[in-house]
């Protein structure tokens, strides 16, 4: 299957930092564990998005984003810092 064949027309890929939460239970105790992750979203039709990839490695996230951007011929929005920028 060719990548992009069944996708809507993707406008750009966004790379951003977020926190992922998971509940951990053991016997009568419960805790919420938070992990910092980097997520790649593919945006289309303005504000619609498809979560494409998640990792804990920022370098890996940008490597994958560049591969996706090259294949789909789209731009990358770096939203990992307070000020987002196009790359």
pLDDT at 63 (0 to 100): 98
How many residues are given for the chain?
87
**What SS3 class is residue 59?**
helix
pTM of the model: 0.79
**Cα–Cα distance measured from residue 12 to residue 66, given in angstroms and rounded to the nearest whole number:** 11
What is the per-residue pLDDT across 54-85, written as a single tens digit (0 to 9) for each?
999 999 999 999 999 999 999 999 999 999 99
C-alpha pair distances (Å), 18 with each of 29, 38, 74: 26, 6, 23
Q: What is the DSSP letter of 74?
A: -
Quick check: 46 pLDDT over 50? yes
């Amino acid at each position: 299957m060719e990548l992009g064949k069944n996708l809507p027309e993707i406008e750009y890929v966004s790379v951003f930092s977020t926190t992922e939460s998971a509940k951990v239970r053991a016997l009568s105790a419960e805790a919420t564990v938070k992990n910092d992750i980097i997520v790649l979203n593919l945006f289309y039709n303005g504000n619609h998005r498809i979560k494409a990839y998640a990792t804990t490695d920022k370098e890996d996230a940008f490597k994958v984003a560049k591969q996706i951007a090259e294949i789909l011929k789209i731009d990358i929005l770096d939203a990992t810092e307070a000020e987002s920028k196009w790359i």
